[in-house]
Structure 1
Amino acid sequence: MKHLLIHTMFRNCLILLFFILPLNVSAIEVENLYSAKVAVDSQSVGDRNQALKNALRAILVKVGGKKIEHPGITQAIKNYNKYVTQYQYIRQDNRTLLNVSFDEAKINRLFKENDLAIWGRLRPQVMVWLIEEEGFERKIISATSSSLLPNTIHDFSQLRGLPLVMPIMDLTDLTALTVSDLWGRFSQPVAQASARYMAEAVVVIRVSNSSLLTVDDAAIECPLCQQHKLAVDWSLMTDAQSEHAQVFSEQYLGDDVNELLVNALSDITDIIYQQYALSTTNSNEFEIDVANISSLAELIAVSEFLSELSAVQSVQLVSVKGTNRRFKLSLIGSQQALFASLKLSAQLNRYIDPLAEREGSDQVPVFYWGKK
């Protein structure tokens, strides 16, 4: 059994800090959010049914953003056939997989009926710098490295629906960043090297079988370090385009590098998820102004755009003044979740009035429609 030294209080502090720090706009619309590929032992009815259940479990984690323990979810897994739309057997990497698609509307309804949070299709892209230390040698793992770790990161990205990108380590990357910069987690060179990848957040993950396991007072400070072969830790920078404060994890100790890496990525995903997940229990109404709508076609386009946001349950036009249109939005979740979703879109750009803070907090936020 592997030991994981991450404390609940520490994670909550990270989540709070993540809320406070600003985010840049860079998002990916996740494809195949309601489909999953799972291993299947054979094409027998029993093995197929078990694979269908496993696929549904994977989808519920991907849509919900985390593993959910809830009676409604347990019942849904028992009634898995209710949600399946199609499946097919495929061969991949010398394995037989079942590729399963599920009914999006029914899955979303399941979450809403059980007051469970939903993570929408539009998700932040995360830059992953992975550096591995073996003895006295340190190397940066690229997307095309012969190491198996990029496959672990890719599989995790597909499983959790979080867009993860790794460096290509071409001449540009090699010029911008040294191994020492990355191992030392120096924010300036890491931010500068990450800028070309246009990610929303940057994470540096260190994997070590040597120096991270060496502690001067091991018996006092790290009694478990001497029992394991590997240590993993990470730092998170919430703005890939500039230098902002990083948050740092404690160590993950164990013997299986893939398991440690998945544990680290899971905790990082949980932090990011807290920013964007939409609680269905906190429905409220909220008004916004869109200031440059000059035609019926644009009005329809804006209304449809707002209606499709995961944070929005319904949209109502409440007033018209010149080219300004005021909309009342019935939200699923908080205003913070709405603004987080809008930050990931280039179509509605918010106008920040520098006098708004002086005038009070009751100002209706103003957005401009990004005309194509």
Structure 2
Amino acid sequence: MKQAARLLFRAIVLKRRVLSFLSLFLLCGYAHAVAISDIYDVEVPVSGQDPKERAEAVEKGAGMVMDRVAGNSGWRNVLDAAVLAEQAPRLLEEYSYGYAVVDSGSGPRRRLVLKAHYSAQGFENLLSQYKVPVWGRNRPQVLVWMAVDGDRGREILGEGASHHLVAAVKYSAQRWGVPLLLPLMDLQDASSLNTSDLWGFFAEPVEASSTRYSHDSILMVRAYPRSGRWSGLWQLRVSGQKIAEESVEADTISAMADKMMESVALSLAHKYAVNLGADAQGDEVAVEVSNVTDFRSYADILKYLRQLAPVKKVEPVYVGEDIVRFQLKLNGYPEQLAEHLALQPRLRPELGPSTQEEVGRRLYYSWAGDR
């Protein structure tokens, strides 16, 4: 009798663990990640092409790239400024001069800039050396709903709005490497979401209005001038859950937008950044993929797994008629792997016949290709 009770208890625990782990994938949904191709490219305003100013711009640009790759400015607490100054010229791969529209705090204007391209491998090696997690190129698409209180009262700002807040948020998002999408605010948006619901951060109508857009997360923002300064509140939601909320205040709209986007980037980096150091403590998992019907599919899966940030090493261990099993060594944990897999629905999670000991250590998927 006791043996039967123990077996029943183990079955219940196993079921709960399986459902808990699978729910992580279901909550993630099938997302719409954006691969940022210019994450290691920056434009630094300069007054001329003097060698001394160029050296300073190269160092400043390296700091901007470091912000993007780390997802926040906290790396400055562990990496000395002198180290970055020494490494910046070595990290630089190419540069040129040109003109670009820059938001310097008083509004966008055309400036002479140093256009610099840095080494991806160099930055990853440097951050790994100092045990700073790296946020990869594949990043979640953030749909931004912004309400502002101004001379015309409260209004929702869409993609075509001329308000300075739109330009400031876009500029800061690009600086921090956060892919942004603004709503069209056409008749459909205007009829589905009223300003008071957004201003009050009522999630249900905002989530409902967001269904027409491809996105991974939702950022709700309200901003208003107060005593010569700008104040605001933002809330970040992922898979229907609030993961961060914070108030922000600054002297200008641009400064407020930059503070806000740094905090948003930090929240997302906490979720997706991984430690790439050689001594990083990570798990190993077996990934079994079905619907592998030809060699091309096999090769695509292998390439796809290898480029995921949490994956340190991929090794095929079994090939069947339409099933392939891989052994993955991770930089992080299986749950973090799940978050990254959910950003691109090429592998669809399935409930496989795992034993209690295998839950979280053996994952089952079906290959969906590029559909």
Name the TM-score, length of structure 2 as normaliser: 0.82
Does the 8 Å CA contact 2:143/2:180 hold for their aligned counterparts? yes
Q: Which residue pairs with 1:155 in the alignment?
A: 171
Q: From 174, 179, 185, give the equivalent of 2:190.
A: 174
User: What's the secondary structure of 1:31's corresponding residue?
Assistant: coil
Q: From 13, 21, 27, give the equivalent of 1:22.
A: 27
Does the 8 Å CA contact 2:172/2:258 hold for their aligned counterparts? yes
Q: Quick check: 1:112 aligned with 2:110?
A: no
Q: Which residue pairs with 1:100 in the alignment?
A: 116
Distance 1:318 1:147, change over 3 A: same
Deviation at 1:255? 3.3
Q: Which residue pairs with 1:273 in the alignment?
A: 269
In structure 1, give the amino acid aligned to 2:95.
Y
Q: Quick check: 1:292 aligned with 2:309?
A: no
Matches of 2:71 and 2:151, distance apart in 1: 36
Deviation at 1:136? 7.7
Q: From 200, 203, 216, give the equivalent of 2:219.
A: 203
Q: Which residue pairs with 2:257 in the alignment?
A: 261
Deviation at 1:265? 2.1
Matches of 2:283 and 2:358, distance apart in 1: 21
Matches of 2:357 and 2:327, distance apart in 1: 22
Q: Which residue pairs with 1:319 in the alignment?
A: 318
In structure 2, give the amino acid aligned to 1:258.
S
Matches of 1:153 and 1:357, distance apart in 2: 48
Q: Which residue pairs with 2:6 in the alignment?
A: none
Matches of 1:329 and 1:286, distance apart in 2: 5
Aligned residue pairs total: 333
User: Where do residues 54-73 of structure 1 align in structure 2 (5 Å cutoff)?
Assistant: 54-67=60-73, 68-69=75-76, 70-71=78-79
Query: Alpha carbon RMSD of aligned pairs, Å?
Result: 2.5
Q: Which residue pairs with 2:139 in the alignment?
A: 123
Distance 1:273 1:362, change over 3 A: closer
Q: Quick check: 1:47 aligned with 2:46?
A: no
Distance 1:20 1:289, change over 3 A: closer
User: What's the secondary structure of 2:28's corresponding residue?
Assistant: coil
Q: Which residue pairs with 1:234 in the alignment?
A: 234
Matches of 1:336 and 1:247, distance apart in 2: 16
Deviation at 1:358? 7.6
1:8-55 deviation per Cα after TM superposition (whole angstroms, max 9, x unaligned) = xxxxxxxxxxx9993331211112011111111211001111111111
In structure 2, give the amino acid aligned to 1:257.
I
Q: Which residue pairs with 1:364 in the alignment?
A: 362
In structure 2, give the amino acid aligned to 1:368.
S
- Please list every run of 5 or more consecutive structure 1 residues that lacks an aligned counterpart in the other structure: 1-18, 211-226
In structure 2, give the amino acid aligned to 1:337.
Q
Distance 1:113 1:257, change over 3 A: same
Does the 8 Å CA contact 2:283/2:332 hold for their aligned counterparts? yes
Q: Which residue pairs with 1:14 in the alignment?
A: none
